[in-house]
Chains A and B, each alone.
Chain A
């Protein structure tokens, strides 16, 4: 897949950089000597190689339910996500891929093990601090977008920034630029119900990226779209993440979707069974 150049970055940047973000995640701030990702990378990244990973998971275990009838969804996962890298998480239903996504994003606390983001362990954070972290450092794109149906496209993108304390005016300028870049010029005032599935998903992508996250988590982002629309949305997602310097962690069933990512993790029974590294991916 070849990258088509996107329009230039939004001109206005928030005055204050969100707390806890890795400045290396931004193209402008990335060290000039940042190493390329060699295709011969070992299959399992057990320790930091090159720049510190933006997200580091160690010995993750997660079980649902009480002792006797507990289901082990994660069974000892070690994983590093490097800045601006794209990772697809694949595997059969029930293999723990969505659980892994939720644990990495601080939505679910792991039963044991740790997730470290920007030097801070997520399990040492309070629920409020993890919520703030999700708002300031992570972006989310889910299957059906989950936009607020009452808000306009622009307001949907603006809302997380306003929750973070950015003024409406500044957040709107930024959000407008993102929507325009993602091909939604002229649709800012439409409600999600007035947009097609692909357009709504682009709004969700703009919303995820407007907060300048270091990691974007996507769970079957094209699951509800037809193949053509799905591929164009994926391309937009991958390019926008790359452009913003955000890592992308995407759960998917679809091998052709996974093929757009640099790295594919195949999960089975709560463990990472295999990793593939792809050279010349979309990133």
Chain B
């Protein structure tokens, strides 16, 4: 432990965006988790409080149970994304410490001590970030009461989590970050002379593609067949929605399974034929680590699939025109947009965090390339290629996934609106990527020109 007591000395803070980003990542992750879980709690408390009499349930009560299941779906969609943002932040935090950690190894720190030091550093940042995230959550909650869910507006008290949940969340988020850091360290050997990354040649299995396609087919089949089966069962519509929601979540999840495979295949093809240096380097980097390439845009992919989900919910909302149905439609519309908005924030922060981590990981390579005559703009172009290839693929994969989700209802004649909505979301995704490239762009010049 004596080594740990030197941690503040060795791991002194360095200024700049590289220090701020992991904390921003942890803050966004925890803040969004608290807000999403608080919102779920609000729906749950309303559903529990609604009168349960002998007679038929009131319109609001039946809407609430449906909205409750929608809120669960939205939570299921958002929570893994928020958690993966936390682990991306942990990875960024690690990568900017590698040289310090190598120096500790050089002066006699054991691998275990260095590992403990690295994890302690990540834990400290995660704790600070989580607390900032909770403050942001508290600050945003009053504004969320203005959202129209077609019923009496939520109060701030309803939107907050119970008091005991806050310390639990902070501890859980911090431990999760520590665990991510530990897993991240497993793939990296910190020697006294620097950091060696596991550089096995990556191979991706075609099974990834098959799983994704099979899930989409399964969803379409379920949508066609299930309504006929559940017709006679009481609460059949609830079962139908539950099954479809689970299948939809699986389709969305499988986008992250097929994504790295598609990136790997396409990057190898592009690398083999690339006419220019930027495309060659970008594609080779992607082929060497397709998972990392996909991770950089997976937040956006997720947003694009959510856009498909949003379109689907608006289809449900347009079924009827009674007051109760209109209220439901309003609630679904608000909820869908809210989910999309949160997904967009997650995508923006996670893309920024992962892009910065990539630049820092490759700092030494950028430096040597610049010395050997690669201009900073050439380095930027290679980086843009490295993002643009998976982004284009993400738009296609997400588009196909969303089309698969929407295929059963497309016949209803709402295709134009759906396509317009999807294009708008795709443009938003492009804007987010442009932003993330812009945020980390000055860093490329800085590491390329650094003396180290």
Are both chains from one complex? yes
Interface members, chain A 133-164 (any B CB < 8 Å) = 133-136, 138-140, 142, 146, 148-151, 155, 158-160, 162-164
By the criterion CB–CB under 8 Å, are A159 and B281 in contact? Answer: yes
Asked if B365 is an interface residue, CB under 8 A from chain A, the answer is yes
Chain A residues with Cβ below 8 Å from B275 are 167-168
By the criterion CB–CB under 8 Å, are A146 and B365 in contact? Answer: yes
Asked if A283 is an interface residue, CB under 8 A from chain B, the answer is no
By the criterion CB–CB under 8 Å, are B280 and A159 in contact? Answer: yes
Chain B: CB-nearest residue to A141: B372
Using A131-B370, A135-B373, A160-B373 as known contacts, say yes or no to A150 and B378 having CB atoms under 8 A apart: no
Option from B274, B277, B365, B371 in Cβ contact (under 8 Å) with A134: B371
Using A148-B365, A149-B288, A163-B378 as known contacts, say yes or no to A140 and B372 having CB atoms under 8 A apart: yes
By the criterion CB–CB under 8 Å, are A151 and B375 in contact? Answer: no
Asked if B364 is an interface residue, CB under 8 A from chain A, the answer is yes
Chain B: CB-nearest residue to A159: B277
| B284, B370, B372, B375 — most chain A CB neighbours (10 Å) | B372
- Report how far A164 CA is from B364 CA in the complex, Å: 21
Asked if A185 is an interface residue, CB under 8 A from chain B, the answer is no
Asked if A34 is an interface residue, CB under 8 A from chain B, the answer is no
Interface members, chain A 22-81 (any B CB < 8 Å) = none
A204 to chain B, nearest CB (A): 10
| B276, B277, B289 — most chain A CB neighbours (10 Å) | B277
Using A159-B281, A162-B276, A167-B275 as known contacts, say yes or no to A150 and B374 having CB atoms under 8 A apart: no
By the criterion CB–CB under 8 Å, are B373 and A163 in contact? Answer: yes
Give the number of residues in A that approach B within 8 Å (Cβ atoms).
32
B189 to chain A, nearest CB (A): 13
By the criterion CB–CB under 8 Å, are A148 and B372 in contact? Answer: no
Asked if B287 is an interface residue, CB under 8 A from chain A, the answer is yes
Chain B residues with Cβ below 8 Å from A163 are 277, 373-375, 378
Asked if A193 is an interface residue, CB under 8 A from chain B, the answer is yes
A31 to chain B, nearest CB (A): 28
B292 to chain A, nearest CB (A): 11
Chain B residues with Cβ below 8 Å from A131 are 370, 373-375
Asked if B50 is an interface residue, CB under 8 A from chain A, the answer is no
Counted as pairs of residues, one from A and one from B, with CB atoms less than 8 Å apart, the total is: 72
Asked if A128 is an interface residue, CB under 8 A from chain B, the answer is yes
- Report how far A193 CA is from B284 CA in the complex, Å: 14
Chain B residues with Cβ below 8 Å from A138 are 373
Give the number of residues in B that approach A within 8 Å (Cβ atoms).
26
The interface bits of chain A over 153-184 (1 if a CB of B lies within 8 angstroms of the residue's CB, else 0) are: 00100111011100110000000000000000
By the criterion CB–CB under 8 Å, are A162 and B277 in contact? Answer: yes
- Report how far A259 CA is from B276 CA in the complex, Å: 41
The interface bits of chain B over 366-382 (1 if a CB of A lies within 8 angstroms of the residue's CB, else 0) are: 00111111110010000
Asked if B383 is an interface residue, CB under 8 A from chain A, the answer is no
- Report how far A146 CA is from B369 CA in the complex, Å: 8
Chain A residues with Cβ below 8 Å from B271 are 155
- Report how far A115 CA is from B378 CA in the complex, Å: 26
- Report how far A23 CA is from B285 CA in the complex, Å: 37
A94 to chain B, nearest CB (A): 15
Option from B274, B373, B375 in Cβ contact (under 8 Å) with A168: B274
By the criterion CB–CB under 8 Å, are A128 and B365 in contact? Answer: no
Chain B residues with Cβ below 8 Å from A125 are none
- Report how far A207 CA is from B371 CA in the complex, Å: 13
B320 to chain A, nearest CB (A): 56
B172 to chain A, nearest CB (A): 36
A118 to chain B, nearest CB (A): 15
Interface members, chain B 193-211 (any A CB < 8 Å) = 199, 201
Asked if A132 is an interface residue, CB under 8 A from chain B, the answer is yes
By the criterion CB–CB under 8 Å, are B372 and A149 in contact? Answer: no
B226 to chain A, nearest CB (A): 46
Interface members, chain A 72-119 (any B CB < 8 Å) = 105, 107-108
By the criterion CB–CB under 8 Å, are A191 and B280 in contact? Answer: no
Chain B residues with Cβ below 8 Å from A146 are 364-365, 368
Chain A residues with Cβ below 8 Å from B451 are 108
Using A149-B199, A151-B281, A159-B280 as known contacts, say yes or no to A135 and B374 having CB atoms under 8 A apart: yes
- Report how far A131 CA is from B376 CA in the complex, Å: 9
Residues of A within 8 A of B (CB): 105, 107-108, 128, 131-136, 138-140, 142, 146, 148-151, 155, 158-160, 162-164, 167-168, 191, 193, 207, 211
Residues of B within 8 A of A (CB): 199, 201, 271, 274-277, 280-281, 284-285, 287-289, 364-365, 368-375, 378, 451
Question: 25 A-B contacts, Cβ less than 8 Å apart?
Answer: A105-B371, A131-B370, A132-B375, A146-B364, A146-B368, A148-B281, A148-B284, A148-B369, A149-B365, A150-B285, A155-B284, A158-B280, A159-B277, A159-B280, A160-B372, A162-B277, A162-B280, A163-B277, A163-B373, A163-B375, A163-B378, A164-B373, A167-B275, A191-B201, A207-B372
17 additional A-B residue pairs with CB within 8 Å, beyond A134-B372, A135-B372, A150-B289: A105-B371, A131-B373, A133-B373, A134-B371, A135-B373, A135-B374, A146-B365, A148-B369, A149-B199, A150-B285, A151-B281, A162-B277, A163-B375, A164-B373, A168-B276, A191-B199, A193-B199
